[in-house]
C-alpha cells in the first residue's frame, strides 16, 4: 500500500533510484538485446518521463514493441503500456521495452 501513501520527497527518491537502475543496467544489454522497464505505478513521471530522459542520454537505444497480448489490454503510449485494474484485473503497472541498437 506504499503507493497510496506516497509523499513528494519519497517520489523524488524513487525517481532517482529508477534513473540509477536504468543507467546501471544499460551497459549489460547486448546489441539487439532488450531492457524491459516495469513499475507498479501509473505516474507519468515514473514511467514515460523516465524512459524519455533515458532515451535522451542513451542514443544507442530505441523504443521496442510490446506484445499484442499486452497492448490490446492496456493504455499504450509511445514509450510503453499502462495496465489498469479495469482492463487487466491487476493492481496497475507500466511496462516499456528498450532495445539496444
**In terms of C-beta density within 10 A (0-12 exposed, 13-18 middle, 19 or more buried), how is residue 16 classed?**
exposed
- How many C-beta atoms lie closer than 10 Å to residue 73's C-beta? 16
State the catalytic residue, choosing from 21, 36, 38, 40: 40
Q: Is 40 a catalytic residue?
A: yes
Residues in contact with 1: Cβ distance below 8 Å, sequence separation at least 6, in sequence order? none
Half-sphere exposure of 74 (CA within 13 A, CB side): 22
Angstrom distance (rounded) from CA 86 to CA 90: 8
The catalytic site residues sit at 40
Amino acid at each position: 500500500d506504499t503507493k497510496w501513501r506516497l509523499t513528494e520527497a519519497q517520489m523524488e527518491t524513487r525517481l532517482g533510484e529508477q534513473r540509477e537502475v536504468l543507467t546501471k543496467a544499460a551497459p549489460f544489454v547486448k546489441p539487439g538485446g532488450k531492457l524491459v522497464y516495469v513499475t507498479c505505478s501509473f505516474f507519468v513521471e515514473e514511467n514515460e518521463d523516465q524512459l524519455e530522459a533515458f532515451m535522451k542520454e542513451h542514443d544507442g537505444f530505441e523504443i521496442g514493441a510490446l506484445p499484442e497480448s499486452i497492448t490490446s489490454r492496456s493504455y499504450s503510449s509511445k514509450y510503453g503500456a499502462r495496465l489498469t485494474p479495469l482492463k487487466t484485473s491487476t493492481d496497475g503497472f507500466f511496462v516499456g521495452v528498450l532495445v539496444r541498437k
